[in-house]
Every structure is written in C-alpha cells, then in structure tokens.
Chain A
C-alpha cells in the first residue's frame, strides 16, 4: 500500500471555514441556551435510542456511551458559559452609552482581542466574547460592576456566596456551579481525568471523599441532574438580570428623563430577555 500523503497545509487550514451562521435565537441568550442545552441532551438520547436497534459489541458500547455522557456534560457546561457571556454582553450594550462611571474597567481585554470585533460586533460582545466565564468569582465581579447603580460599587451577584448578597433567588448555587466548572476543567484539559489537585478541590466543594487520579464516569442520571440544575439556574439568572437591568435603566431615566424612551427600552429588554419588565413605569411583555 502506498504511503498515505495528506496535504495538511490544505486540509487543516480549511477546517475553520466549515461553519454556518448563528441561529436567529442567538440574539436572545435564554432561548439560545435552551436550544444548545436541549441539543446536547438530544444527542445522548438519539444515540441511546437508535443504538438499541442494532447489533452491538456490548463492551465497546458501554465505553463509548460513557465517553458520550462526558461530552454531553461538557456541552451543557459550555452552553451555560455561553449564556453567561451573551447575557453580560446584552447588559453592557444597554447600559454603556448611558452611564459613564467607569463600570467597564473590570474588563481587561487586550487590543488585539478587541479589534476584530470593531466592525461587526457590539461593545458587549467585544468585551465578553474574548474572556472565559467559567469562574464564579470572576462572573460575580463582572456582573456586579455592569449592573451597579450609577456611581455605586454594585450589589448584584450572579452567584451570591453569603446570605447578604443579592439577589436572594440566586443564592445557594455558587458551590454547585463551581463543581460543574471543575468537572468542565477536568474534561477539557485532562480528558475527563480528575487529577489529585482536582480531587482535593472537588472534595471541598462536594463535602465527601473524591478519589484522584480517577477517570470521570457520569451516569445518565448525573448528566440529567446537571441539565436540570443549569436549566433552572439559567432561567432564574435571566429573570433576575432582566429585572435588575430594568431597575437600573429606570434609575438612569429618573436622573435624566431625556436619556431614552422608556417604552422602547422596555420593549427591547422584554424581547431580548423574554421576560416581562418595567422601565420607568412602562411595562412590556415579550
């Protein structure tokens, strides 16, 4: 057999050109999250359903299904990280022209990461896309700053850590989200191997012994629990962010009634967040 000669220069460089446009729901973060998370879950179900119709090598099937569950768990975490980004970008685009109080200083994005967004994206996308969001403290710090009342340090935490932090509806999720971020880390960087240091961190978060090094092997129920939790957290976070953003814009309008048309602003928020909101006394529904 002749030696295989692949033109890598041609074939590898063209891979990034194989893509398609973002779906229309990408402009509405919670709808985009819903689609991405459901798609990930459906992959697992589709394979499970159809593999049952074939003659399979059982031992290999078990190993491949384990790997698929790990990949789907990762996809769910990625969908949630994407949601955090899109939601933050939407907030920035709503507030940045109206409140020049330095609230965006929390974003440290280098010029070469920022510049490519200049012609096609919004400021929010340019600031949020380039950064990772899979760290609860960093996400807290950024959202707190974006959604602070004018010239105040801010009190809105997407993942409150103490009973005093707002909003109350998002409390008691910090550790659960952190567990999912650590699992994501193990899958992305160590192919699902929970290293000794991962195990130490997870043990503290899970409050039970976690072995390491070990290969992560989630059950289907594990994957579903992750989806249930992230679905609920995304819906709750979307609602709380929309409400806080509407309150912030109302405060801006109270200081300067010529800043914007509150009816139009509420309409835009309701459409983008798919929530009923009230801006400066003007209620709107999606």
Chain B
C-alpha cells in the first residue's frame, strides 16, 4: 500500500494518539518517537516506497491489497495495554526486516496531563 494510506489511518485515530516505530532505520533516523499521529502522518506522506502490512492469521479480512485506511483495521493487533500494533515493512525490505508501529496510550495520557498542567499553571500565573 502507499504510505499515504497509513498516514490517513493514523489521522483517523485522532491527533491525541501517540505512536512509536520499533525496528525501521529510516523512520527512526528522521522522526523522534514517540510522536503524535499528525507528525508521523506528515513524514509518511513524503515517502514514495510502498509498505507491506502483516495481517494476523485470524484476521477477518481476505482482500488482496490494502486499498484504504479502513482496510487497515483488519490488520491491527492489540497488546495487553490496549495499544494498537501494526507489523509492517517497506517493499525493499526483507521479511526479516519487518518492524512494528505501536500505539502508546501511556505517553498519550502523560502528554495530555502535561498539557493540562501547563494550561493550569498559565491560568494560575
């Protein structure tokens, strides 16, 4: 799939969701993780190389190719903390080089609380 589809999907999750990429040298060199959906979506849209998505065996999806952000929902797994995880690789990467995109609800909570704290402090000042 074109990386723009993943960018669309990330934006659909809301700008208050936070994400980390573990294992992809290209993204890890150019984006400071964890980052919010919009930051990662912007970086992905600037890329041309196609992405391959790992679909879990028990996924309720049997299409040939991911053609929209909605298709991606079927490939999403959820970890014990309720974070959404996608297994991906760029088309030039081997199967062994696959990497994960993982939501970070903990950081989203900290970010929200830090923002509210800053607003509270500004009001108090």
Q: Which residues of A contact B (CB under 8 A)?
A: 23, 25, 28, 31-32, 34-35, 37-39, 41-42, 45-46, 48-49, 52-53, 220-221, 224, 227-228, 231, 235
CB distance from A166 to the nearest CB of B (A): 25
A45 touching B31, Cβ below 8 Å: no
Interface residues of B in 1-53 (CB under 8 A from A): 20-23, 25, 28-34
A37 touching B32, Cβ below 8 Å: yes
Closest A-chain residue to B79, C-beta based? A49
CB distance from B79 to the nearest CB of A (A): 5
Q: How far is the CA of A34 from the CA of B23 in the complex (A)?
A: 13
Ordered by A's residue number, 9 sampled pairs between the chains whose C-beta atoms are within 8 Å are A28-B29, A31-B30, A41-B34, A42-B22, A49-B80, A49-B83, A52-B79, A53-B80, A224-B107
Complex interface bits, B90-102 against A, C-beta within 8 A gives 1, otherwise 0: 0000000000001
Residues of the A chain whose Cβ atoms lie less than 8 Å from the Cβ of B28: 34-35, 38-39
Q: Which residues of B contact A (CB under 8 A)?
A: 20-23, 25, 28-34, 79-81, 83, 102, 104, 106-107, 110
Q: Given contacts A34-B32, A221-B110, list 17 more A-B pairs with CB under 8 A.
A: A23-B25, A25-B25, A34-B28, A35-B25, A38-B21, A41-B20, A41-B33, A42-B20, A48-B81, A49-B81, A49-B83, A49-B102, A52-B80, A224-B34, A224-B110, A231-B32, A235-B32
Residues of the A chain whose Cβ atoms lie less than 8 Å from the Cβ of B79: 49, 52-53
CB distance from A231 to the nearest CB of B (A): 4
Residues of the A chain whose Cβ atoms lie less than 8 Å from the Cβ of B110: 220-221, 224
B29 touching A35, Cβ below 8 Å: yes
Residues of the B chain whose Cβ atoms lie less than 8 Å from the Cβ of A46: 22
B30 touching A34, Cβ below 8 Å: yes
Interface of A, helix, strand, loop or mixed by DSSP: helix
CB distance from A21 to the nearest CB of B (A): 13
Closest B-chain residue to A42, C-beta based? B22
CB distance from A283 to the nearest CB of B (A): 20
Residues of the B chain whose Cβ atoms lie less than 8 Å from the Cβ of A37: 32
Residues of the B chain whose Cβ atoms lie less than 8 Å from the Cβ of A38: 20-21, 28, 31-33
Q: A45-B102, A45-B104 are in contact. Are A34 and B29 (CB under 8 A)?
A: yes
Q: How far is the CA of A221 from the CA of B117 in the complex (A)?
A: 14
Q: How far is the CA of A156 from the CA of B96 in the complex (A)?
A: 45
* 3 shortest interchain CB distances as A-B pairs: A52-B80, A231-B32, A31-B29
CB distance from A22 to the nearest CB of B (A): 13
Q: How far is the CA of A52 from the CA of B106 in the complex (A)?
A: 14
Q: How far is the CA of A32 from the CA of B33 in the complex (A)?
A: 14
Closest B-chain residue to A235, C-beta based? B32
B106 touching A220, Cβ below 8 Å: yes
B102 touching A25, Cβ below 8 Å: no
Closest A-chain residue to B83, C-beta based? A49
CB distance from B106 to the nearest CB of A (A): 7
Q: How far is the CA of A217 from the CA of B13 in the complex (A)?
A: 33
Q: How far is the CA of A53 from the CA of B81 in the complex (A)?
A: 10
CB distance from A34 to the nearest CB of B (A): 5
Query: CB < 8 Å: which of B23, B29, B33, B106 contacts A25?
Result: B29
Q: How far is the CA of A23 from the CA of B24 in the complex (A)?
A: 13
Q: How far is the CA of A210 from the CA of B20 in the complex (A)?
A: 33
Residues of the B chain whose Cβ atoms lie less than 8 Å from the Cβ of A35: 25, 28-29
Q: How far is the CA of A106 from the CA of B124 in the complex (A)?
A: 47
